[in-house]
Amino acid sequence: MIPYGRQDITQADMKAVLEVLKSDFITQGPSVPQFENALATYCGVSHAIAVNSATSALHIACLVLGLGKNDWLWTSPNTFVASANCGLYCGANVDFVDIDPKTYNMSIEALTAKLVEAEKQGTLPKIVIPVHFAGQSCEMQAISRLSDKYGFKIIEDASHAIGGKYLGDPVGNCRYSDITVFSFHPVKIITTAEGGIATTNDEELAARMRRLRSHGITRDPQIMADAIDGPWSYQQIELGFNYRITDIQAALGYSQLQRLDQYIERRHQIKAQYDELLETLPVVAPWQHPDAYSALHLYPVQVDPNTCAKTRKEILTAMRAAEIGVNVHYIPVHTQPYYQQLGFRHGDFPNAEKYYGHTMSLPMYPLLSDAQQRYVIRALKDALA
């Protein structure tokens, strides 16, 4: 089976992990800050806080930005459920902003219109989470301008986008946001098996996220509630979690990070080949925004219902029968049973639903060989015929 995405683990990765296993610390040792510092430098951001998943990073990001009961969090419906669930973890209300049919990212027009309406209703969001779908940055300048006007905070869900750029600068630099979150799940661009990270330029937000990832405990006498008992002292000053990442994982992440640019280049090669090979077929290739250099986590094509006689389901089934693990990104979050139970309805976000009806992600990962890619295209041609 050719999957839609998979990790690349090298000898160097294995050596890095083995070294940690033989060392004094397999968690809470030096590998975590080493990974954090290297990633912060790569992204051009002041702080990086590594945790055990992007989901955890989203949760603590929402908490430190003050999200709570009666607040609103808005995100894109074209995302993984975690981008919305983090709001519910904090007891807040969640709503969605429909996508732009061209970029498949949160639409600036829809966001603007929804903000105007919410201002009238007194239901402006506290946090907006733009999701850089498939690795392509959202239009962050425009979202940042709206945040100045309407007073919401911004968390970039860049789970797909490490190694990508926006206006020539690395995604994750938080120039247009409060916090950015990356995922290191094996299907993503680089991996730590499970893992995630939050980046920010705000020292206080960083310190608080560090504390929340480890039970709300501090060892800093400056912020302890009362005098320390002795050198063993620590104090829990708020309710946190165990969201720590291990040194084993951080060493893998650090080793993977050394190949990040290579990975992105290879993904762009694969994309260029797909673009060329698909040109004559009744499918819509992913459009690239001129402001963004995509990390190309995904290569989603839309089966064009105007020119294609087959349905997406027929094509996807035929591809899977040919041992190609094509997948669909994403089932709009508001159509999930859990969200339906919260009151959302089919038809609420028509662009995301329409896109979902036609889309299919073709295999896209650095180890996909040219021969495998040609096989994918041949199978797609057969399925479309």
Ligand X SMILES: *Cc1c(COP(=O)(O)O)cnc(C)c1O
Of 75, 136, 137, 159, the one binding ligand X by CB under 6 A: 159
- Take residue 266 and report the two structure tokens written for it: 């290879």
Nearer to ligand X, 133 or 152 (CB): 133
DSSP at 375: H
Tell me which of 2, 13, 31, 53 binds ligand X, using CB under 6 A.
Answer: 53
* Footprint of ligand X on 81-110 (CB under 6 A): 82-83
Residues in the chain: 385
Residue with Cβ nearer ligand X (40 or 197): 197
Q: How far is CA 129 from CA 27, 29, 154, 196, in A?
A: 30, 32, 6, 16
Stretch that binds ligand X, among 48-56, 142-150, 317-325, 363-371 (CB under 6 A): 48-56
Number of residues that bind ligand X (CB under 6 A): 14
Using only the alpha carbons of the chain, give its radius of gyration.
Answer: 21
Residues in a beta bridge with 292: 166
- Tell which one of 7, 31, 75, 79 touches ligand X (CB under 6 A): 79
Is-contact 145 169, C-beta < 8 A?
Answer: no
Span from 50-58, 142-150, 269-277, 312-320 in contact with ligand X (CB under 6 A): 50-58
The yes or no reply on residue 183 touching ligand X (CB under 6 A) is: yes
Q: What is the rounded CA–CA span in Å between residue 354 and residue 356?
A: 5
Figure out which of the listed residues 98, 157, 178, 348 binds ligand X, where binding follows CB under 6 A.
157
- Residue 196 in contact with ligand X, rule: CB under 6 A: yes
Best CA proximity match to 356, nearest among 332, 379, 374, 339: 332
Q: Phi, psi at residue 347, to the nearest 5°?
A: 100, -10
Spatial contact of 152 and 127, defined as CB atoms under 8 Å apart: yes
The DSSP letter of residue 98 is: P
How does DSSP classify residue 223? G
Single out the residue of 165, 185, 271, 334 in contact with ligand X (rule: CB under 6 A).
185
Quick one: 264 or 318, whose CB is closer to ligand X? Answer: 264
Question: C-beta of 194: minimal distance to ligand X in Å?
Answer: 6
Q: Locate tokens 């808005």: which residue?
A: 74
Token pair of 363 as six digits = 């295999």
CB 20 within 8 A of CB 255: no
Q: Which of the ranges 74-82, 198-206, 231-239, 309-317 carries the binding residues for ligand X, by CB under 6 A?
A: 74-82
Residue 195 CB, nearest approach to ligand X (Å): 7
Restricting to residues 126-155, name those near ligand X by CB under 6 A.
131
- The reply to whether 59 sits near ligand X by the rule CB under 6 A is no
State how far the Cα of 147 lies from the Cα of 115, in Å rounded to an integer: 10
Residue 174 or 278: which CB sits closer to ligand X?
174
Residues contributing to the site for ligand X (CB under 6 A) = 53-55, 79-80, 82-83, 131, 157, 159-160, 183, 185, 196
